[in-house]
Amino acid sequence: TGTTGPALTSLGFKPVAKSLADKVIVPEGYTAQIIYALGDPLVAGVPAFKNDGTDTAFDQRAGDHHDGMEWFGLDASGKPSNSFNSRGILAVNHEATTDEKLSSFFIHANGGASTLPRPASEVDKELAIHGLSFVEVQSSGKQWAYKASSPFNRRVTSMTTAAIHGPARGSEHLVTKFSNDATQCRGTLNNCGTGKTPWGTFVSGEENWYGYFFRDAKDDDARKKDKQVQALNRYGRKAGAASRHGWESAGPQDQYVRWNNSAHAASAKADYRNEMNTFGYVVEMDAYDTQAPMRKRTGLGRFAHESVAFAKPQAGQPIVCYMGDDARGEYIYKFVSDAKWDPKDASPANRLAAGDKYLDKGTLFVARFKGDGSGEWVELSMKNPVIANSSYFEFKSDADVAIFTRLAADAVSATKMDRPEWGGVHPITGEVYITLTNNSSRTAATTDAVNPRVYTDMKGSTEQKGNVHGHIVRMADASPAGAAFKWDIYVFGAEADADKSTVNLSNLTDENDMSAPDGLVFSPATGICWIQTDDGAYTDKTNCMMLAAIPGKLGDGGARTVKHGDKTVTTYAGKTPTPTTLARFLVGPRGCEITGWCETPDGRAMFVNIQHPGEGTAMADVNDPAKYQSQWPTNAGYGAGKRPRSATIVITKNDGGVLGT
């Protein structure tokens, strides 16, 4: 079973087989228990979830699409603790909803309305079901359960007031009818990956927020002299763009019209043309204080944020964190604080004040990879003349860089990646691992050393082109705050029986083959790297999964070539994994994605989210359970009704041992 602790050299469980069953599968000797699902009450007096589309009061219930998640320990007396193992607060992202034709159909009776205008009663539920939840969980010694009426329970929704912090605070581009001085905004949206700061707070990335906004077909004309038209297009909101749920259509009230991102009043102070600019950030919360405000940390840039991976803090050195922008051809970023780490801040009197200290002032960098296995972090600020003098986009200040970050990264010719998702920092080597989940837009002509793979013929795959299965890039900074790095590719996702010279480059086997890595977290207790998939390409053979990895270090493989017709790309691949260094640990129910990972400090209880089981169900079948793609978790005995629900599970070893070892 190997040693425990971050020096672990061999995984200690029997890998689970690929599966299409509608259940959670974990290795022999392990148990998975469902503890916290969509709609579960968080406040005393809120009725049990009926799960038939009639439930209301979602601002007092668990939200939908559980995603990234972090553990905040409590001791027996309810004080913050990093060593107590049977009581804590889970901070959970509620990314989105299972939807079709505007409606989040599993939370509405008969599936809801699929035409505009959307009924206000349905939109009110959808506004409340997005955001974050903080929920107390505890173990009796035998079983874990969430507490339905803990004073630590809290919901944050798309309507919760937030304070704008960092360089964009007060910017003209954040002026709205709600906050004429651009110091406040409302809500957090499409929260995807997470992070835990060295000072003990929760951070959450706002990912696909732009899809929630409507833009009038004539909005470009209305904004003729507004440089934002270029930015709106770059961020995926062309004039005439419809919104994902039609929230803007539900009525004339402020909470609905704020989703209309068009300029129609005399000035930005009287409409919501800038509302979209108030999303796309990392938000910081204090999980231990239900009264603490939400802060948008604009210094970390505005893009489709996934997770925030903090390097191990070192006394007297800046705080460093790594972030991916999850869209096709987007970039990898790093933030370096101005303030130097004071170890006393590991347990500060005021956690959000520590966040102000380390996250409000600093420098954002974007990664430029070179073909020789090296790379460079390029500064994104007005100090970089390429940005200050850019003819591509007019940057007037560091606030503009913080708000229009993608354009700043374009201006310095950063490397376009195959959808950067979660990042993790290896507890011993300090090397950074970032999942590149897949990229259907990658072509043979645009392959490069760090995005070297495309398919032209994927038999049995639902997705036929681009980098279908994704890969995981590994980076080593020469110094924490420095510009130079080295990189290689830890592993390429692939089907085990695929061609080993063009597709299955990492020689994956039945024990560890996978597609579309997304979640990635290193266990502080064991050093195991947990990898989670969000896949649409291998789902004819297996549901999404979680694997455990002991990933070695940069440079442990070597250069290798990949051929695309006439073109040959040279890349750098890690040492070939074996079933004792990379193995499938869990397979989820049908239609789900596996995401979110945290554990108790002793590494003996692990929390994982099963996101959107049954996502492939048609809205027309909402009242016909026999046609649901999944009936999990009710088919596992959890809760009422048959509609599938996103949920948190806890995994323990039957002998009480440390997970994965």
- 122's contact among Ca ion, ligand FEO, none, with CB below 5 to 8 A by partner kind, is none
Helices (H) and strands (E) in the chain, counts: 8, 30
* Angle subtended at Cα 558 by Cα 553 and Cα 563, rounded to the nearest 5 degrees: 130
The SS3 call for residue 620 is helix
Q: Which is nearer to ligand FEO, 306 or 488 (CB)?
A: 306
CB of 67 to ligand FEO, least distance (A): 6
CB atoms within 10 A of CB 464: 13
From the list 275-283, 383-391, 528-536, 568-576, the region that binds Ca ion by CB under 5 A is: 528-536
Q: Which is nearer to ligand FEO, 93 or 277 (CB)?
A: 93
CB of 646 to Ca ion, least distance (A): 9
Q: Which is nearer to Ca ion, 192 or 283 (CB)?
A: 192
Scanning residues 186 to 205, which ones bind Ca ion (CB under 5 A)?
192
Chain residues binding ligand FEO by CB under 6 A are 95, 192, 207, 306, 326, 421, 518
For the CA atoms of 618, 620, 626, 629, the dihedral, rounded to the nearest 10 degrees, stands at: 10
Specify the residue for token string 């440390």.
658
Cβ neighbors of 516 (< 8 A, separation 6 or more) are: 437, 438, 469, 470, 493, 533, 534, 535, 536, 537, 538
CB of 422 to Ca ion, least distance (A): 6
- 55's contact among ligand FEO, Ca ion, none, with CB below 5 to 8 A by partner kind, is none
534 is a contact residue toward Ca ion (CB under 5 A): yes
CB of 628 to ligand FEO, least distance (A): 23
Cβ neighbors of 334 (< 8 A, separation 6 or more) are: 320, 321, 322, 323, 364, 365, 366, 367, 377, 477
- 376's contact among ligand FEO, Ca ion, none, with CB below 5 to 8 A by partner kind, is none
Per-residue x/- track, 587-626, Ca ion (CB under 5 A): ------x---------------------------------
Measure CA 38 to chain center: 18
Region of 358 (left: φ > 0; alpha: ψ -120 to 50; beta: rest) is: alpha
The SS3 call for residue 542 is coil
518 is a contact residue toward Ca ion (CB under 5 A): yes
For the CA atoms of 530, 534, 537, 540, the dihedral, rounded to the nearest 10 degrees, stands at: 90
Site residue total, Ca ion (CB under 5 A): 5
CB atoms within 10 A of CB 548: 26
- 207's contact among ligand FEO, Ca ion, none, with CB below 5 to 8 A by partner kind, is ligand FEO
CB of 424 to ligand FEO, least distance (A): 15
488 is a contact residue toward Ca ion (CB under 5 A): no
CB of 95 to Ca ion, least distance (A): 7
Q: Which is nearer to ligand FEO, 55 or 418 (CB)?
A: 418
The two three-digit tokens of residue 164, written as one number: 């704008």
Q: Which is nearer to Ca ion, 399 or 434 (CB)?
A: 434
DSSP state of 61: B
Q: How far apart are CA 16 and CA 510, in angstroms?
A: 9
535 is a contact residue toward Ca ion (CB under 5 A): no
Scanning residues 395 to 454, which ones bind Ca ion (CB under 5 A)?
421
The SS3 call for residue 199 is coil
CB of 437 to Ca ion, least distance (A): 5
CB of 534 to ligand FEO, least distance (A): 6
CB of 155 to Ca ion, least distance (A): 20
Q: Which is nearer to Ca ion, 93 or 277 (CB)?
A: 93
Cis peptide before 633 (omega within 30 of 0): yes
Q: Which is nearer to ligand FEO, 268 or 321 (CB)?
A: 321
Sites of contact with Ca ion (CB under 5 A): 192, 421, 518, 534, 593
